[in-house]
Amino acid sequence: MSERDDVWIPLVDEPIGSIVATLQATHPEIDELVSSPHKILAFRTFAYIRVGILLGQLLVDHDVPEYDGTETWIEALLREPLHKEAVVQELRAVAEEIAADPRYSDDETMGPDDDARERFREFARRQLG
């Protein structure tokens, strides 16, 4: 091997990553808690693990229909509102724990803050007239 190949391993395979992303997108309070790059990485890492464990527990505790090719066992579980809410609560708990961790207290948030947004809006108003 003359040069080192870069190896990229995804943090998680589907469907857990898409479940976390979808539920996170529909619950903006989670994003507000984990808004810096380090917090996001920690959140995703632990959220994927804890949601995976929770889904496994739900599968053991609740029967799902036999697979007929229309939906996965995860989709069948999440069709039940109580199960979906349990996953959302787990995501919220992970986000709250990450947000409360003092190791991330000095992290800067991603994107502009409210003052920067207001300055941009004022600039755009002046430019666009």
Neighbours of 105 (CB within 10 A): 9
Q: Phi, psi at residue 54, to the nearest 5°?
A: -60, -45
pLDDT of residue 8: 47
Residue 96, token pair as written in the block: 């709250």
Q: Quick one: which of 104, 98, 103, 100 has its CA closest to 45?
A: 98
pLDDT value of position 3: 52
* Among 87, 42, 114, CA closest to 33: 42
Q: pLDDT means per 10 residues in the chain (129 residues)?
A: 48 74 91 86 92 94 86 89 96 94 72 73 83
- pTM for the full model? 0.70
Determine the pLDDT at residue 94. Answer: 96
User: Residue 77: what pLDDT?
Assistant: 92
Alpha helices in the chain (DSSP H): 16-25, 28-33, 37-61, 73-78, 81-100, 114-128
Q: Let me know: does 14 contact 80? Beta carbons within 8 Å.
A: no
So where are the chain's domains? 16-128
First CA to last CA distance, the chain: 60
